[in-house]
Amino acid sequence: MDKATAYHDALGDHFAAHAETSPYNAYTDRPAMLRLAGDVSGVRILDVGCGAGHYAAELAARGARVIGIEGSATLLRHAYARVNGQAGLLLHDLEEPLGFAGDASFDGVVCALVYEHIRNRVQLLGEIRRVLRPGGWLLVSTTHPTADWRHFGGSYFSHDWRDLPIGDSELSIHYQRLSLETFLGELLAAGFVLEQLIEPRPTADLREIDEAAYDRLHQVPSFLAVKLRRP
């Protein structure tokens, strides 16, 4: 991920703190992805774009052997603190091949809310397929296409790159809009087989903390999450 898309410096610090308790991250995307992963005891997992280590820490706590890779040194610093030695972490530009990993060296790959930030997705998917064992699974979550359409307007089928402001801060995240057709089409063209697709809604715990956010996220989709297999 280049300077425009990776969460460096102040953006990385903000995201690390925000993702800890955010209705979107902590109560919607992360629980959904962990449910899709299922029983991971003893499973070798590559966390692609591991961010501040939230997913890696959860997966490791459930018995997985996790390697997390991240293009932002800022986020990786947070990840080291969070996983506390329970997962391996590596600074790696996701626009580059996964040269550190051998063929069929992982049972599962997690790619949570990073896919839309990658420019060379064809290369990344090819590399993920290479490092997955036959029968291994890939979990990918992304911004829901209709959420982007509602926010930015214009054509639903737009593939333009956008900057999304974060709250009242001067920070923004840079990513590409993807239609459902494009998102699934790229994954299938890379040789994966779709096993499950969900539109995550927040867990019941959020209702006790932020009822308005709970109600909103049960009415307006924010993410897509898919589970695929490598034949």
In a domain, 224, yes or no: yes
Of 29, 30, 86, 84, nearest in space to 62 by CA: 86
Q: Above pLDDT 70, what percent of the chain?
A: 97
In a domain, 1, yes or no: no
Three-class DSSP category at 7:
coil
User: Residue 5 has what pLDDT?
Assistant: 63
In a domain, 191, yes or no: yes
Taking CA atoms, 105 is separated from 29, 70, 90, 173, 212, in Å, by 26, 18, 16, 32, 43
pLDDT digits (tens, 9 = 90+) for 65-85: 999 999 999 999 999 999 999
- Report yes or no: 36 and 194 within 8 Å, Cβ to Cβ: no
* CATH code assigned at 219: 3.40.50.150
Residue 182 has pLDDT above 80, yes or no: yes
Q: Rounded to an integer, what distance in angstroms lies between the CA atom of residue 164 and that of residue 62?
A: 33
pTM (two decimals): 0.94
pLDDT digits (tens, 9 = 90+) for 113-166: 999 999 999 999 999 999 999 999 999 999 999 999 999 999 999 999 999 887
Residue 189 has pLDDT above 90, yes or no: yes
Segments in 64-163 forming alpha helices (H):
73-83, 121-131, 145-152
In a domain, 3, yes or no: no
Residue 18 burial (C-beta neighbours within 10 Å; 0-12, 13-18, 19+): middle
User: Residue 2 has what pLDDT?
Assistant: 46
**Which tokens sit at 64?**
């997985």
In a domain, 2, yes or no: no
In a domain, 4, yes or no: no
Phi-psi region of 9 (alpha: psi -120 to 50; beta: other; left: phi over 0): left
In a domain, 214, yes or no: yes
E strand intervals along the chain: 44-48, 65-70, 88-91, 106-112, 132-143, 161-165, 172-176, 193-198, 223-229
Q: Above pLDDT 90, what percent of the chain?
A: 87
Domain residues for the domain of 223 are: 9-229
If one counts the domains in the chain, the total is 1
Q: Rounded to an integer, what distance in angstroms lies between the CA atom of residue 123 and that of residue 144?
A: 23
Stretch 34-57: mean pLDDT: 98
User: Residue 11 has what pLDDT?
Assistant: 76
Q: Rounded to an integer, what distance in angstroms lies between the CA atom of residue 197 and that of residue 22?
A: 23
